[in-house]
Structure formats: C-alpha cells, structure tokens
C-alpha cells in the first residue's frame, strides 16, 4: 500500500535536499518498504503517521505564523487530527495493535525521524510569509494524498470498524483540503528558491 505520509517526506526532501530529495517517482514510496505486511496494520499505522506529522507541523504553524487565517487553520488541524488519532488508536487497540510501537519498530524509523527533524528545522528558518505559503501547500498535498489513498483502500479495508473509521475521517480531511485551497490564493506566490512538492531544490538555490 502506498503510504499516506509520502507527501510529507517528499516535501521534507524538497525543502531539505536530503538523499532522495525530489527524486521519488510517482509510484515510489519512501515509507512503503517499512510498512507491515498485514493490511490492517499497514493502513492504521499509515493513518497514525499522517496524524502525527500534521499535528507536529500545525503546532509549528500556530506558534510561528503571524497570519490570523493560518493560525486558525493550524488550530483546527491540531484539534481535528488529535481527535482522529484518538479514535484511530482505539480501533487499533481492538485489533491488538500498538501504533507507536509499530512505527518505532520500522527498519527506517530513525531515518524518517531524522527527515522530520530536518524538515522542522528548515521550516523554522523561513520568514513568516515563506512559512505560511509552504505550510499551507504542504497541508494541501498531504490531505490530497491521504484522501486518494483512503478512497482507494476503503473498499478493501478489513473490518467494519476500520471501514467506519475511514468513512468518518474522509469528509473532514476533505474540509481541511478545501480550507487549504481557499487560503492559498491570499498568501501570494510560492517563495523563490523553494519548489512545490516533487521538485528538487538545494540550499541557497
């Protein structure tokens, strides 16, 4: 299964010029090799990782941004994704899964954490306008990716409880996507020297 969090790593690579920066093809999945084979565990772990990434980035946005609209969006993301993850954790527990343990046990867990740390550092170094544009763009890409994966996987999701979870979260992910798209035009052009997702950049380019 293609990881829900692929968008986050693509952006980490694009912004931080890591080893695989912007070089991933359409079918590439930097997290896929580490995902568990069991379909239920793979799906729930991917959803958990998505929520954790969004929450961490939104917390940074809430603390860093001076734009009222971006801060309000970040606040909603934090509240909603915490709620999503709490419900997800309960469903996972019913399947005997400890999601944090599953993520920590992945062979490339340290690499993924390092990429996230590098991304947070890069974002923290941006000026306010650059940060707002890039953050909202990241949220648009991440939520679009999540919706595409869940739409594809929903019919095959094992267990009625997992299917109900997906059905409940997808409309709200769609709202988050629409909010990002509504905010973007008011934030201005994408910063010079930083490419949107899928494009390689290097520091100082």
Q: What is the pLDDT along the chain (205 residues), one digit of tens a residue?
A: 344 444 444 444 333 333 333 333 334 343 333 334 477 788 888 889 889 999 999 999 999 999 999 999 999 999 999 999 999 999 999 989 898 888 888 887 888 888 888 888 888 888 888 899 999 998 998 898 889 888 887 777 667 888 899 999 999 999 999 999 999 998 877 665 554 544 332 233 3
User: What is the pLDDT at residue 183?
Assistant: 96
Contacts of 9 (CB under 8 A, 6+ apart): 24, 30, 31, 112, 115
Contact 99, 44 (CB under 8 A): yes
Name the CATH architecture for the domain at 6-186: Up-down Bundle (1.20)
Q: Residue 119: its pLDDT value, please? A: 82
Cβ neighbours around 42 below 10 Å, total: 18
Q: Residue ranges per domain, the chain?
A: 6-186
Instruction: In whole angstroms, give the CA distance from residue 110 to residue 116.
Output: 10
CA 59, CA 63: separation in Å to the nearest integer? 6
Q: Which of 199, 136, 134, 147 is nearest to 173 (CA)?
A: 147
- Residue-level pLDDT at 191: 61
């Amino acid at each position: 299964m293609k990881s829900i969090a692929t968008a986050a790593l693509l952006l980490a690579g694009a912004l931080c010029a890591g080893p695989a920066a912007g070089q991933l093809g359409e079918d590439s999945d930097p997290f896929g090799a580490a995902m568990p084979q069991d379909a239920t565990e793979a799906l729930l772990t991917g959803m958990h990782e998505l929520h954790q990434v969004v929450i961490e980035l939104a917390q940074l946005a809430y603390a860093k941004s001076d734009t009222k609209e971006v801060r309000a969006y970040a606040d909603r993301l934090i509240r909603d994704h915490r709620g999503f993850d709490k419900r997800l954790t309960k469903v996972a527990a019913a399947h005997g899964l400890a999601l944090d343990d599953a993520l920590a046990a992945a062979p490339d867990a340290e690499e993924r954490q390092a990429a996230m740390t590098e991304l947070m550092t890069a974002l923290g170094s941006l000026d306010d306008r650059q940060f707002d544009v890039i953050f909202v763009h990241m949220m648009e890409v991440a939520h679009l990716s999540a919706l595409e994966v869940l739409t594809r996987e929903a019919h095959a999701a094992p267990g009625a409880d997992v299917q109900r979870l997906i059905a409940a979260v997808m409309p709200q992910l769609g709202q988050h996507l629409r909010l990002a798209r509504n905010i973007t035009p008011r934030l201005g052009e994408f910063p010079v020297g930083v490419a949107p997702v899928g494009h390689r950049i290097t520091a100082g380019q």
